[in-house]
Amino acid sequence: GAGVSQSPRYKVAKRGQDVALRCDPISGHVSLFWYQQALGQGPEFLTYFQNEAQLDKSGLPSDRFFAERPEGSVSTLKIQRTQQEDSAVYLCASSPHRDQLNYGYTFGSGTRLTVV
């Protein structure tokens, strides 16, 4: 596809349920990012992959959050035992560059997670 594709667009989970959010980056993009955007806030960094290597997971809020990109393309963000504070929009972004300073990157349309 032409852009970063995320699925599902909306997810309602009961507290304690596990969820998996999928990101299909732009074909050939080596860098992939996950961000979390709470209502009324700017996006906050969660994790970064370069190809299949997870180079930075410093933003993952707890050990309930896990991300993978096993073949260097599609990525999945998994949240175990969801809590109400996990309700947010989860944004995926990709870039063809390893160094983003002079380029920026393109976000997908996001997955809105609501934990009830």
Partner 1 sequence: QKEVEQNSGPLSVPEGAIASLNCTYSDRGSQSFFWYRQYSGKSPELIMFIYSNGDKEDGRFTAQLNKASQYVSLLIRDSQPSDSATYLCAGFSGTYKYIFGTGTRLKVLA
Q: What DSSP character marks residue 2? A: -
Count the neighbouring beta carbons within 10 Å of the beta carbon of residue 101: 6
Q: How far is the CB of 50 from partner 1 (least distance, A)?
A: 9
Among 99, 15, 98, 102, residue whose Cα is nearest residue 64? 15
Count the neighbouring beta carbons within 10 Å of the beta carbon of residue 105: 17
Question: In the numeric block, which tokens belong to residue 91?
Answer: 């944004």
Contact call for residue 56 and partner 1 (CB under 8 A): yes
Q: How far is the CB of 81 from partner 1 (least distance, A)?
A: 27
Residue 17 or 59: the one with the smaller Cβ distance to partner 1 is 59
Q: Which string of x and - marks every residue 69-108 that binds partner 1 (by CB under 8 A)? A: ----------------------x-------xxxxxxxxxx
Which residues would be at the binding site for partner 1 (CB under 8 A)?
A: 31, 33, 35, 40-45, 48, 56, 59, 91, 99-110
